[in-house]
């Protein structure tokens, strides 16, 4: 009898005798843990040797198998109960499932801009105004690179690698990622540098930040929100948008263009691909067109 079988059997007894759960609940928990056991046994991982990275890989495999977010959530819940039991019984010292995140259920994709709406917003910027080139560069970076507003305002010149065509982004948890930097974004940043930024009295400690306000200090999140809101009002946009809308639009347009979901996950800096999965909830007419256009069985050529 393997360690997995023994501990699962004891776990089931615990649920029945001490927790007093119904038969259906016990069966559900057992099935969930059995899935993890099968995965670990295939990889020769003993119960006491399971690490968070193993669990994370297991959850990724559930996604790849097409398991729904709701089913994933139930399986993760069962796994967490199992490791809590092992901790309670002093079988393991550390719970590897503590950091394991549940998928977001029922999460709706916020407003997404069409390509035409993005162009209208950028086109509405008055480039003759002092802040015009800066605001245009801001919107281009938000949309072309998919940055969070916090990542945008903390962007530094030492994070820009023009020759390599990448920017280094420091995201949540100080995790770094590389995002492609288009020539268009480079041109917009350069235009802003040559106009507004070169004329500022830049304050000490703010020299390396890309986007500055009139007083030569790093921009705030609120200021970026105001810029976006004012432009939306200027073109009479009915959608309720924020700087984050450009990030959503960036990801959605990449999906529509056929980009790989894993690549988008990397560019957005998502810890779990489950988070990136929300961008697959696209217009059904687009999905139908994509299938009819690219599936080999829909070709009329012999």
- Let me know if 70 is a catalytic residue: no
Catalytic residue among 134, 218, 247, 248: 247
Distances (CA, A) of 257 to 108, 260, 282, 291: 21, 9, 12, 13
Triad 294, 246, 188: Cα angle to 5°: 105
> Can you state the angle between helices 115-123 and 132-145, rounded to 10 degrees?
160
Helices (H), 171-242: 183-194, 221-234
Catalytic residue among 172, 175, 215, 262: 172
- Let me know if 234 is a catalytic residue: no
- Let me know if 63 is a catalytic residue: no
- Let me know if 279 is a catalytic residue: yes
The two beta strands, 166-170 and 160-161, are antiparallel
- Let me know if 295 is a catalytic residue: no
- Let me know if 148 is a catalytic residue: yes
Catalytic residue among 104, 156, 206, 244: 244
Helices (H), 65-203: 69-88, 115-123, 132-145, 149-153, 183-194
The two beta strands, 176-180 and 166-170, are antiparallel
Catalytic residue among 35, 148, 218, 248: 148
Quickly count: other Cβ atoms within 10 Å of residue 225's Cβ: 15
**Residues designated as active site:** 148, 172, 244, 247, 270, 279
């Amino acid at each position: 009898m393997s360690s997995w079988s023994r501990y699962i059997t004891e776990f089931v007894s615990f649920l029945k005798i001490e927790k007093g759960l119904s038969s259906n609940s016990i069966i559900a928990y057992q099935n969930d843990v059995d899935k993890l056991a099968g995965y670990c046994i295939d990889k020769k991982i003993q119960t006491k040797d399971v690490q968070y990275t193993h669990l994370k890989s297991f959850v990724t495999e559930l996604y790849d198998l097409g398991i729904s977010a709701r089913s994933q959530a139930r399986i993760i819940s069962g796994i967490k109960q199992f490791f809590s039991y092992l901790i309670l019984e002093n079988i393991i010292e550390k719970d590897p499932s503590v950091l394991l995140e549940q998928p977001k259920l029922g999460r709706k994709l916020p407003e997404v801009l069409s390509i035409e709406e993005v162009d209208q917003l950028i086109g509405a910027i008055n480039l003759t105004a002092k802040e015009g080139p800066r605001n245009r560069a801001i919107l281009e970076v938000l949309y072309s690179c998919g940055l969070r507003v916090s990542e945008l305002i903390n962007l530094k010149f030492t994070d820009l690698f023009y020759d390599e065509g990448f920017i280094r982004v420091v995201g949540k948890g100080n995790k770094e990622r590389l995002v492609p930097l288009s020539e268009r974004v480079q041109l917009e940043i350069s235009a802003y540098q040559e106009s507004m930024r070169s004329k500022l009295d830049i304050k000490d400690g703010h020299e390396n930040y890309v986007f500055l306000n009139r007083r030569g200090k790093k921009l705030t999140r609120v200021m970026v929100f105001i810029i976006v809101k004012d432009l939306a009002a200027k073109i009479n946009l009915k959608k309720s948008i924020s700087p984050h809308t450009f990030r959503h639009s960036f990801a959605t347009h990449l999906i529509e263009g056929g980009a790989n979901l894993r690549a988008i996950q990397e560019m957005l800096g998502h810890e779990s691909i489950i988070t990136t999965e929300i961008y697959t909830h696209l217009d059904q007419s687009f999905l139908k067109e994509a299938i009819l256009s690219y599936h080999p069985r829909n070709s009329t050529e012999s």
